[in-house]
Amino acid sequence: MGWDPIGVAGMPQAADEYDCLMGPLLRMLHEGARPSRIERWLTHELQAHFGLTPVPGREAQLASDLVDWRSRRAQEDDRPRGAGPSSGDLSDLRAAFVRLTVGEQPSEELPDIAAHVLVGGEVDSPSLRELAGISRTEVRESRDLFLAAMTELGVDTPRDDSYEELARFWAREMLAGSVSPYDGSRHIWWGAWEPLGRPSDLTAFVGLASMWDDDPDHRTRYEEDMLNEAERILAGN
């Protein structure tokens, strides 16, 4: 948004206006592209995709800033070689993996998911980089690259293809601390409870999330109850 050639910075409805550029840019940065190459690509996209006229020096400045950012991230990364990413870093990928098995994850969104994960700098794999750089229209290739990335990252295949597994997935994420109890409950609400026809064994998450919204003075208690519910459904009770 600091670049913002369209002039939409500060407009919430346009927050994703430049997301189509993220995957290809990240791929070029991972490949060690020089600022001149990135500037040429940005200039082409600005003219061909957005229909805008480049401003002298603007695209060159962004290209230089991106290369500098990537260099700083590489220097700051002091993780021991071979130390795998933390479970929280993989949360978005694992969630997409589970959604994919129940037919709720559009393949055209997978490149954007890969790009957002790579921005964090903690999760990386060859197929994930390639996925981030391809077009959203390459649906079959996106799915294949995503599944390859899951294998490279050691993410286990979901146990079955049901919405019940999606609910159990978010329960595990809550208990692991990868997502907050409130966010996990909201995911169960909209990602499992509604598609399953509002089963009674998941209704508690809906009620607790609603009370969390309406009663901020007692949110700690509601979060404890959400975690208790998560333990309950994982225990099969």
pLDDT tens per residue across span 156-184: 777 655 788 889 888 988 998 878 999 99
Residue 191 reports pLDDT greater than 90? no
pLDDT at 224: 96
Residue 123's pLDDT is what?
84
Judge whether residue 192 has pLDDT over 80. yes
Q: Are residues 96 and 142 part of one domain?
A: yes
Task: Assign 3-state DSSP to the chain and report helix, strand, coil percentages, each to 5.
Answer: 65, 0, 35
Give the sign of the dihedral formed by CA 194, CA 92, CA 179, CA 29.
negative
**142 lies in some domain:** yes
Q: Are residues 25 and 50 both part of a single domain?
A: yes
**Domain's final residue, options 76, 102, 129:** 76
Residue 89's pLDDT is: 58
Domain span at residue 67?
12-76
Q: How far is CA 121 from the centre of its chain?
A: 12
The answer to whether residues 62 and 24 belong to one domain is yes
Residue 197: Cβ within 10 Å count: 7
- Split into its structural domains, the chain has a count of 3
Residue 212 lies in a domain: yes
Chosen domain end from 152, 171, 194 = 152
Domain for residue 204, yes or no? yes
Q: Are 222 and 168 within one domain?
A: yes
Q: What is the pLDDT of residue 189?
A: 92
**pLDDT score of 37:** 93
> Span 99-112, mean pLDDT?
83
Average pLDDT, the chain: 84
Contacts of range 159-166, beta carbons closer than 8 Å, 24 or more positions apart:
160/101, 161/101, 161/102, 162/102, 163/102, 163/191, 163/192, 163/195, 163/196, 164/192, 164/196, 165/98, 165/101, 165/102, 166/98, 166/99, 166/102, 166/104, 166/191, 166/192
Q: Identify the band that residue 12 occupies on the pLDDT scale cut at 50, 70 and 90.
A: confident
Is 83 part of a structural domain of the chain?
A: no
In the block, tokens 């071979």 appear at 82
**Position of tokens 């998560």?**
230
Residues 60-77, mean pLDDT to the nearest whole number: 80
Question: Whole-angstrom Cα distance, residue 196 to residue 214?
Answer: 25
Question: 121, 152, 183: which is the final residue of a domain?
Answer: 152
pLDDT bucket at 57, cuts 50 / 70 / 90: very high
Task: Examine residue 5 and state whether it is found in any structural domain, yes or no.
Answer: no
Based on the fold, state whether residues 112 and 65 are members of the same structural domain. no
With respect to residue 60, please indicate whether it lies within any of the assigned structural domains: yes
The answer to whether residues 21 and 68 belong to one domain is: yes
Residues 170 and 224 in one domain: yes
Q: How far apart are the first and last CA of the chain?
A: 48
Residues 19 and 72 in one domain: yes
Q: What is the pTM of this model?
A: 0.51
| 86 in a structural domain | no
| Same domain assignment for residues 172 and 222 | yes
Q: Is residue 82 part of a domain?
A: no
The reported pLDDT for the residue numbered 84 is 38
Which pLDDT score, from 0 to 100, does residue 85 have? 39
pLDDT cut 90: percent of the chain above it: 41
Q: What is the mean pLDDT of residues 139-151?
A: 91
